[in-house]
Amino acid sequence: MMEFVDCFDALNHPTHQTIARPELKGSPCYFRVVHLWWIYNGKWLVQKRGKADDLNPYMWAFTTGLVTTGETPETTTLRETQEELGILLSPSDIILKKIIPTHRGPYKTFAYIYETQKAPEPFTLSDEVLSTDWWSLREIQGKIKTQSFWDYEALLDAPDYFAKGEPQ
């Protein structure tokens, strides 16, 4: 099934246009993505991606997803967590930490970074996820250096990606 996304301008305002997912690369359309920081007892949930068509396939990453037409970033975060991990979170379980705009590169995005500190439940992994683990931020940063974890700071042109803050 073809996925479509809503387009936004450089200020994150809707343009009232939609675009098919395969047409996003190089498009002037800004679109929204979500990342979930699941932090529990000082460890971050990471997952080894299982999709060959990922930007960086078979690497470790956070739960992420594309906000499709008609969705909000919040509902996408809840949907992706259920699809990828088999966990049903509620809106009260997540908090928006920041929005990171990316203006350069082949994709123009607004990354909505959500956090949960909910106690983990057993996961039921989809075929998009090969495995999960809990790592410290230091471990994640080490894996970024060895190129086995998505380098969100570089991908999003956001050197402060891991800095916690209030939504912008």
Per the structure, the complete domain to which residue 56 belongs is given by: 4-155
Q: What is the CATH number of the domain that holds 122?
A: 3.90.79.10
In a domain, 129, yes or no: yes
Residue 164 pLDDT: 79
Q: How confident is the model at residue 56 (pLDDT cuts 50, 70, 90)?
A: confident
Total count of domains within the chain: 1
Longest dimension (CA), the chain: 42
Q: In whole angstroms, what is the distance from residue 100 CA to residue 93 CA? A: 21
Residue 165 pLDDT: 55
Interval 27-46 mean pLDDT: 96
In a domain, 112, yes or no: yes
Q: Which tens digit of pLDDT belongs to each residue from 65-124?
A: 999 999 999 999 999 999 999 999 999 999 999 999 998 888 999 999 999 999 999 999
Kindly report the pTM of this predicted structure. Answer: 0.93
Pick the closest to residue 63 from 142, 138, 120, 1 (CA basis). Answer: 120
In a domain, 167, yes or no: no
